[in-house]
């Protein structure tokens, strides 16, 4: 355990296992070598000891003879030299000559010598136990006495075996190290690959989401390649899953999916896909704009929260429980786009077999609703305008019927009102028709020869009573001779009637409305001037817009469709002319209508 | 017995002329206004028995007039006939706290209007007698 801990600290985690195996193998080798060495050394030792015993015996015999001779001649120093040499040469641990009393006459180690000189009287030999590991020889020195030669061989086998043991262990260790190195080198590539995979796995468990980041270098071997291909398979699987729920995010994926994602994103309608619990899984760019959030932040949010708390979107909740599999269409403002904007949200749950979840299409229908509102207002206004002359006709005819005996001037006056109101009805109906023609783009102009003098008489006649009733002076200045122009008579009357009618409508009692007609070179110029409330400069062009009505509070309650001036200008322009405005607030306005004398009629709008 | 006074308010001169002429012929005293402001001033000054007003008028609508009449003790109890285009729908909320007692769609018959005005004048006299 301690070893494995040590290895762990020394080696990278992935190599501990391999190093452990290597060391185990080395230990087995060492143990085997040791046993072998022990067996061989036991045999060798015996052989060595035998040869050593023989050598010591032989050496002892030859030395004994030499020493006996030398001592006989009293050559002590020669004996001492021989002993030292023999001990050194033969590697003897003990090599000495002792006298009968135990004194040492010569020794391999000179410091041990106790008898410096030969004794005068040679003492007799004392019995001595023979050396266990050496040889003791009895010397008989002729004429002198007896001495003893002791030879003890150095523990040569031990020393030899020790050195050999070290060599063997060193060799085994070296072999083991070499083997370990080879094993390590061989396993290195494999372990590095596994190590990289191990690193990747720990990153994965640490929360790394990007699978591509977990790939390891393919040079790390087969395992690395296998790991990488496994990863790629997982990535492609995951992408396929993402594509199924979120084609938009797969823009970088396969061409086909990228193509569809781009197409969805290019839609000008909002496209939202939600899962079964109505959490958003996809939103295209338009949807993000309508919902006032970035696309990424919409993903995962509950659809109902994102759409806001308008009661209009409540029906969409029924999609969540799966009971409603039909199409649900609601119209609602969206919190992010302001209260004025109106969106139509069509939603449908995918049917079984199509996948799970809900698809929503969000359309901005604000403009349609504005147009609808204007059209509805126009219809309401038009019906109101129709009711006013109808009321008058009914009241005046009723009066004539109730009092058949009333005087002629009264009857005549009542009939005039009826006639005038019938003409007013005609104009309103004409306006409504013209509006629908212009709206539909089907306005056609007739090619009438228009006698202008008669036309102005008619208009003056039409408005005389209403001007009088309001206490307004209506003054027409028409030259006795005017050219006959070619144009659509009804439309020209419509345009002029609108101008004169407006002038009377927006001029207070006691005011003046004048119509001045002039023939100029090739054109006809008609100025309709009033002393009314006037039009602010910033509204001078706006009043010609369809459905536009001045923001002046003084006209609140005055009926008007917001179409009269738009229509008048439109029909005059179709005749090649125009209507312009010069006005001053609180002083009055002058609308100038110009028509080419030979009107160059464009036959279609 | 002094004649009942009827206030007529409409920006259509032909209508006020005809209604005024025929109401006078029926024995009423008639006041004419051409917009809401005029009508309110005349009502406060003359305290008419019945007010007949168009809905759509310059400056002040007939409905606004009917609300403003509630503000003064002089005019609070004057019954009012509101003339409207049929397309214009008034909600009960809009008519709450107003003097409007009868809604009449244009076009209408004078005889029908006369009957309503006469009923209102009779009720008014009965109430005054009860109070006296």
Residues A302 and A357 in one domain: yes
**Cα separation, A282 vs B111, whole angstroms:** 68
Q: Which residues of A touch B17 (CB under 8 A)?
A: 469
Residues A111 and A167 in one domain: yes
Token pair recorded at residue A45: 């030792």
Give A466's contacts in chain B (Cβ within 8 Å): 13-14
Cα(A519)–Cα(A595) distance, integer angstroms: 10
Residue of B56, B86, B110 lying closest to A559 (CB–CB): B56
Q: Do B108 and A388 touch (CB under 8 A)?
A: no
Per residue in A458-473, pLDDT tens? 899 889 888 888 899 9
- Residue in A380, A381, A395 to test binding to B, most B beta-carbons within 10 Å: A395
Burial grade of B65 (CB within 10 A; 0-12, 13-18, 19 or more): buried
Same-domain status, A336 and A411: no
Decide which of A554 and A291 is more confident.
A291
Of residues B18, B59, B87, nearest to A384 (C-beta): B87
In a domain, A43, yes or no: yes
Please tell me the distance from the alpha carbon of residue A282 to that of residue A264, in angstroms, as a whole number.
Answer: 10
Please report the pLDDT score of residue B28 as a whole number: 94
Q: Which residues of B touch A388 (CB under 8 A)?
A: 12, 15, 106
Greatest mean pLDDT range, A65-74, A123-132, B18-27:
B18-27
Which residues of A fall within a CB distance of 8 Å from B57? 557
Measured in angstroms, the CA of B31 and the nearest CA of chain A are apart by: 16
> Does residue B81 surpass a pLDDT of 90?
yes
* CATH code for the domain defined by B5-131: 3.40.50.2300
* Whether A394 and B108 lie within 8 Å, measured CB to CB: yes
pLDDT at A334 > cutoff 60: yes
- Which structure tokens are listed for A210? 């990007």
The per-residue pLDDT for range A197-244, each reduced to its tens digit, is 888 888 777 766 666 677 777 777 777 888 888 888 877 777 666 666
Q: What is residue A14's predicted lDDT score, i.e. its pLDDT?
A: 53
User: Which one of B20, B106, B109 makes the best mutation probe of the A interface by having the most chain A beta carbons within 10 Å?
Assistant: B106
Question: What average pLDDT does this structure show over A164-178?
Answer: 69
Q: What pLDDT is attached to residue A250?
A: 43
**Domain-located, residue A249:** no
What confidence score (pLDDT) does residue A396 get?
A: 94
List own/partner pairs for A277-282 with CB under 8 A and 24 or more apart: A277/A302, A277/A320, A278/A302, A278/A303, A278/A304, A278/A316, A278/A317, A278/A319, A278/A320, A278/A358, A279/A303, A280/A306, A281/A245, A281/A246, A281/A357, A282/A245, A282/A246, A282/A247, A282/A248, A282/A249
Clarify whether residues A228 and A173 are in a common domain: no
**For residue A39, pLDDT beyond 80:** yes
pLDDT tens across A12-26, in order? 555 556 666 666 776
- The values of phi and psi at residue A370, to 5°, are -60, -45
Q: What is the pLDDT of residues A400-448, one digit of tens each?
A: 999 888 888 989 989 988 998 898 888 878 777 877 777 676 777 888 8
Q: How far is A442 from chain B (nearest CA, A)?
A: 28
In a domain, residue A199? The reply is yes
Contacts of B87 in chain A (CB under 8 A): 380, 383-384
Interval A573-593 mean pLDDT: 91
Provide the residue ranges of all domains of chain B, joining segments of one domain with +: 5-131
Mean residue pLDDT across chain A = 80
Q: Are residues A418 and A565 both part of a single domain?
A: yes
- pLDDT value of residue A252: 43
Contact residues for A359 (Cβ-Cβ < 8 A; gap 6+): A271, A272, A273, A347, A348, A350
Higher pLDDT, A164 or B64: B64
How far is Cα A305 from Cα A272, in angstroms, rounded to an integer?
14
B59 and B45 Cβ atoms separated by less than 8 Å:
no
Q: Is residue A252 part of a domain?
A: no
A276 pLDDT more than 60 = yes
The DSSP bridge partners found for residue A474 are A513
Within a domain: A481: yes
Same domain, A316 and A457: no
Query: Predicted confidence band at A561 (pLDDT cuts at 50, 70, 90)?
Result: low
Q: Are residues A422 and A486 in the same domain?
A: yes
Cross-strand pairs, A145: A141
pLDDT of A415 reads 92
B89 touches chain A (CB under 8 A): no
Same domain, A200 and A221: no
Residues A202 and A284 in one domain: no
Domain identity same for A95 and A48: yes
Are residues A285 and A179 located together in one domain of the fold?
Answer: no
Q: How many domains does chain A divide into? A: 4
Name the residue range of residue A304's domain. 269-362
| pLDDT score of A516 | 95
pLDDT value of position A216: 77
Answer whether B29 touches A (CB < 8 Å).
Answer: no
Measure the CA–CA gap between A280 and A288, rounded to whole angstroms: 11
Q: How far apart are CA A589 and CA A409, in angstroms?
A: 36
- CATH number of the domain enclosing A552: 3.30.565.10
User: Residue A310: pLDDT band by 50, 70, 90 thresholds?
Assistant: confident
Per-residue pLDDT band at A129 (split at 50, 70, 90): low
What is the tens place of the pLDDT at every residue in A479-536?
A: 988 888 888 888 898 899 999 999 998 898 899 999 999 988 778 899 999 998 888 8
Residue A474 burial class via C-beta count within 10 angstroms: exposed 0-12, middle 13-18, buried 19 and up: buried
- The answer to whether residue A171 sits within a structural domain is yes
Chain B within 8 Å of A186 (Cβ-Cβ)?
no
Confidence check: pLDDT of A297 > 70: yes
Q: pLDDT band at residue A361, thresholds of 50, 70 and 90?
A: very high
Band (pLDDT 50/70/90 cuts) for residue A2 is: low
Residue A575 tokens, joined: 């005749």
The answer to whether residue A603 is domain-embedded is no
The answer to the question of residue A136 being in a domain is yes
CATH number for the domain harbouring residue A345: 3.30.450.20
Whether residue A173 sits in one domain with residue A195: yes
| pLDDT 10s digits, A250-271 | 444 456 677 888 888 888 899 9
Of the residues A188, A208, A228, the one at which a domain ends: A208
Nearest to A355 by CA among A257, A240, A233: A240
């Amino acid at each position: 355990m301690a070893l494995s801990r040590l290895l762990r600290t020394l080696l990278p985690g992935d190599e501990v296992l391999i190093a452990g195996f290597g060391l185990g193998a080395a230990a087995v080798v060492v143990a085997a070598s040791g046993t072998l060495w022990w067996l061989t050394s036991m045999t060798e030792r015996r052989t060595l000891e035998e040869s050593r015993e023989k050598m010591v015996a032989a050496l002892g015999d030859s030395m004994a003879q030499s020493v006996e001779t030398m001592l006989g001649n009293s050559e002590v120093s020669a004996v001492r030299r021989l002993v030292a040499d023999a001990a050194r040469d033969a590697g003897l641990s003990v090599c000495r000559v002792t006298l009968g009393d135990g004194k040492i006459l010569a020794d391999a180690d000179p410091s041990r010598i106790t008898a410096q000189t030969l004794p005068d009287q040679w003492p007799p030999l004392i019995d001595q136990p023979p050396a266990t590991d050496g040889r003791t020889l009895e010397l008989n020195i002729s004429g002198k006495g007896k001495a003893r030669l002791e030879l003890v061989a150095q523990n040569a086998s031990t020393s030899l075996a020790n050195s050999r043991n070290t060599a063997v262990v060193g060799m085994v260790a070296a072999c083991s190290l070499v083997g370990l190195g080879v094993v390590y080198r061989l396993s290195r590539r494999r372990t590095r690959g596994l190590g990289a995979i191990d690193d990747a796995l720990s990153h994965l468990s640490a929360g790394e989401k990007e699978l591509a980041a977990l790939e390891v270098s393919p040079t790390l071997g087969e395992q690395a390649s296998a790991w990488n291909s496994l990863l790629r398979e997982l990535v492609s699987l995951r992408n396929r899953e993402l594509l199924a729920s979120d084609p938009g995010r797969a823009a970088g994926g396969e061409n086909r999916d990228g193509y569809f994602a781009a197409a969805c994103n290019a839609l000008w309608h909002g496209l939202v896909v939600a899962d079964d619990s109505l959490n958003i899984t996809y939103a295209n760019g338009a949807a993000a704009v309508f919902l006032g959030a970035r696309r990424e932040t919409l993903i995962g949010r509950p659809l109902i929260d994102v759409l806001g708390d308008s009661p209009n979107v409540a029906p969409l909740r029924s999609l969540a429980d799966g009971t409603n599999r039909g199409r649900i269409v609601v119209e609602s403002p969206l919190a992010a786009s302001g209260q004025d904007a109106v969106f139509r949200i069509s939603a449908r749950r995918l049917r079984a077999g199509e996948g799970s979840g809900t698809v929503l299409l969000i359309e901005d229908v604000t403009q349609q609703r504005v147009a609808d509102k204007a059209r509805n207002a126009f219809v309401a206004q038009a019906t109101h305008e129709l009711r006013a002359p109808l009321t008058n006709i009914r009241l005046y005819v009723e009066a004539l019927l109730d009092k058949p005996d009333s005087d002629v001037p009264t009857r005549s006056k009542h009939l005039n009102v009826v006639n005038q109101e019938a003409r007013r009805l005609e104009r309103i109906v004409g306006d409504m028709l013209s509006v629908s023609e212009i709206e539909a783009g089907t306005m056609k102009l007739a090619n009438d020869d228009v006698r202008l003098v008669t036309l102005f008489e008619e208009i003056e006649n039409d408005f005389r009573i209403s001007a009088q009733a309001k206490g307004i002076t209506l003054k027409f200045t028409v030259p006795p001779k005017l050219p006959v122009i070619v144009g659509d008579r009804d439309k020209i009357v419509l345009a002029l009637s609108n101008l004169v009618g407006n002038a009377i409508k927006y001029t207070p009692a006691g005011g003046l409305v004048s119509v001045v007609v002039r023939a100029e070179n090739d054109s006809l110029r008609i100025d309709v001037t009033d002393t009314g409330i006037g039009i602010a400069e910033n509204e001078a062009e706006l009043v010609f817009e369809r459905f536009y009505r001045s923001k002046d509070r003084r006209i609140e309650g005055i009926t008007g469709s917001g179409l009269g001036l738009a229509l008048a200008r439109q029909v005059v322009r179709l005749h090649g002319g125009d209507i312009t405005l010069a006005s001053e607030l609180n002083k009055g306005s002058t609308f100038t209508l110009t028509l080419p004398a030979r009107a160059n009629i464009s036959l279609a709008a | 017995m002094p004649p009942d006074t009827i206030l007529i308010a409409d920006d259509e001169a032909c209508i006020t002329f005809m209604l005024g002429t025929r109401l006078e012929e029926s024995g009423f005293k008639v006041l004419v206004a051409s917009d809401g402001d005029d009508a309110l001033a005349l009502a406060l000054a003359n305290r008419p028995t019945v007010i007949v007003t168009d809905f759509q008028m310059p400056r002040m609508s007939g409905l606004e007039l009917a609300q403003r009449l509630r503000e003064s003790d002089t005019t609070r109890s004057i019954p009012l006939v509101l003339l409207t285009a049929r397309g214009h729908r008034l909600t009960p909320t809009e008519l709450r706290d107003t003097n409007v007692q009868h809604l009449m769609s244009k076009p209408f018959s004078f005889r029908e209007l006369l009957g309503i005005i006469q009923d209102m004048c009779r009720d008014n006299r009965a109430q005054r007698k009860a109070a006296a």
